[in-house]
Amino acid sequence: MPAIADIVVKKNDAVTNITFTAQTPSSGDGVPAVWRSTTVGTSPAHAPELRLASRDADKGKKRALRGTFVYPQISTNSTTGVTTVVQRASAGFDFSFSKDMAQADINEFVAQAGNLFASTLVQACLKAGYSAS
């Protein structure tokens, strides 16, 4: 099992790094590990957050992983100086694979899925809010 660590990714400009700081490791099946971008806002509610949980599924025949990513839009009131969350964008993903599947196939599945999500075309579709036509 991987140990929790900070995650560094590129921002939209494809140049600037943003760090998602490890907040809480998973304490067992069904309990998510939590990462936050702590450089945003002044409260945990203002920070983009990734959660990833895993568990047995299909009567113990499979492993299932569920991730959620929430990105809040924050605004500071110029009169009071109070920063609040205006709205949130969110994404989720589910991975499931048989415990009988060869590790090499699981590795290839995970690599290809991750690379597809990171592809320029899929990101362009998500940014536009429309699938490719």
pLDDT tens for each residue of 38-96: 988 789 999 999 999 999 999 999 999 999 999 999 999 999 999 999 999 999 999 99
| Percentage, residues of the chain above pLDDT 70 | 100
pLDDT of residue 107: 96
Q: Report residue 89 as tokens.
A: 């964008």
Contacts 24+ apart (CB under 8 A), 102-105: none
**pTM for this prediction:** 0.89
b/e map 17-36, b = 16+ CB within 10 Å: eeebeebeebeeeeebbbbb
